[in-house]
Amino acid sequence: MSDGRLWGGRFADESAEAFHRLNASLAVDRRLWPQDVAASRAHARMLGEQGIISADDARQIDGGLQRIAAELEAGDFAFLPGDEDIHTAVERRLTELVGDSGRRLHTARSRNDQIVTDTLMYLRERAALQAGMLRELGEVLLRGAEAHLDTLLPGYTHGQRAQPVRLAHHLLAYVWMLGRDRRRLANVVSACEECPLGSGALAGVGFPVDRHAVAHELGFARPSANSIDAVSSRDALLDYLSFAAQLGVHLSRLGAEVVIWAGDETRFVTLDDAYASGSSMLPHKKNPDAAELARAKAPRLAADLGGLLGVLAGLPLAYNKDLQEDKVFLFDAVDTVELLLPAVAGTMATLQFRVAEMAAAAGEGALAAIDLADHLVREGWPFRRAHEAVGALVRACEERGISLADAGPSELGAAGLGDVSVPQLSAEGSVEAKAVPGGTARAQVLDQLEAARALVASW
């Protein structure tokens, strides 16, 4: 080994500085040290038990690795400029500590099976943590829905007020989105079940390693079935990045709504001071920064997915150094999701819904137009004729600057509805009329709430 490189023997000359800087991944992969040390301990123990290295070497290695873990934990592990990646740093230090025993650790192993093992272990750990974060956000939304079963607000299509809905119904829409995200996250965990160790560089290893023992000790369900696939595949990372990209879209849409709701055009919510910020110039401002950033992180998460797809597409088997770029995208997404979820949960948990403003907006204008058309249909009108007549009535009301509910004989006459008995139109009547499963009537939303509670409890 020359100048700390794990592969120096074949080389007469040292690496160029510019090459080393490009090639080194320590700055990115050093966070994998807990997984790297754990996987090395399992590997060394197995090598000892299989008689591939001596029991004494295995003991020395284990002691050295425990000390390295303590140094890394305490932050006093001295990384050297020549440490190419976390594997190199750990093995270099191990050799400093236990000499030739340390030089036996890499028997029957390659960094190619090592890095993907570390990454899968890391990923399943973050997935478990993020499942808890999803659950927290789900619970916040559920609590909001429980508190606002009887709060009405306008639902929008095309950015225009379309029909009154229950706020509970609207908030629950996000719970179902998160439910699908949670399912995708569970798929990520399943994709992390197979242990690559024993695959070596690509073909398997030339010693009687016990792949099952190592796999089980490290919490995998089984060893991977194909060594070439094991060192080349980044499917679990793609699954995670797909999860993160879609979650990002969902949180972005929620963020966008909070921005609109907190804006002066609706004033549907008041943001808590803890999740808003001020303007450095305009003293009166209280800006929805958390919601805006939630809105803006989605493209970054999508880019992480796109980035790794780009690295993998067209890449021949098996390991190629291109694959080292995988962690740049993965870690960026992991960090972004872990920043976002608690901030969005906090924003939603502390949001004050301005019930009166919402109700007033839900009752105004022509939001019950469909309910009048439905009434005419029940009286025997063909829907298309009812639609046209009510449309004419809306136009007449608009011209006179009155709300549909206040239409009088002259507007009704103008719309050809002079001899029709018009029912009292209200937002409350409108939501109660949507009594289909999945609709916004109270009984339906109560059913939905119960199903959503069971869903979130399963996360």
Q: Which residues are catalytic?
A: 158, 279
When the beta carbons of 284 and 321 are compared against ligand ARG, the nearer one is 321
Q: 329: burial class by Cβ within 10 Å (0-12, 13-18, 19+)? A: buried
CB of 82 to ligand ARG, least distance (A): 14
Interface positions, 410-449, toward ligand ARG (CB under 6 A): none
* Segment lying near ligand ARG (by CB under 6 A), choices 111-119, 123-131, 203-211, 262-270: 111-119
> Least distance to ligand ARG from the beta carbon of 255, Å?
33
Selected range binding ligand ARG among 51-59, 108-116, 121-129, 287-295, rule: CB under 6 A: 108-116
130 part of the interface to ligand ARG, by CB under 6 A: no
How many CA within 13 A on the CB side of residue 76? 4
Q: Binders of ligand ARG among 190-249, rule CB under 6 A?
A: none
- Cα angle: 49, vertex 32, 106; to 5 degrees: 35
Alpha carbon distance 207, 170 (integer Å)? 60
How many C-beta atoms surround the C-beta of residue 214 within 10 A?
A: 22
Comparing CB distances to ligand ARG, the nearer of 262 and 323 is: 323
Which of 5, 15, 25, 250: binder of ligand ARG (CB under 6 A)?
25
Give the residues across from 194 on adjacent strands: 222
List 57, 85, 181, 374, residue binding ligand ARG (CB under 6 A): 85
Among 40, 233, 242, 324, binds ligand ARG (CB under 6 A): 324
Least distance CB 319 / ligand ARG (angstroms) = 6
Which of 15, 112, 232, 444 binds ligand ARG (CB under 6 A)? It is 112
Options 97-105, 319-327, 341-349, 404-412: segment touching ligand ARG (CB under 6 A): 319-327
Size of residue set near ligand ARG by CB under 6 A: 10
Rounded to the nearest angstrom, the gap between the alpha carbon of residue 178 and the centroid of all alpha carbons in its chain is 9
| Residue among 323, 337, 343, 396 that touches ligand ARG (CB under 6 A) | 323
End-to-end CA distance of the chain: 49
CB proximity list for 219: less than 8 A, separation 6 or greater: 121, 124
Q: How far is the CB of 331 from ligand ARG (least distance, A)?
A: 11
Interface positions with ligand ARG (CB under 6 A): 25, 29, 85, 111-112, 115, 319, 321, 323-324
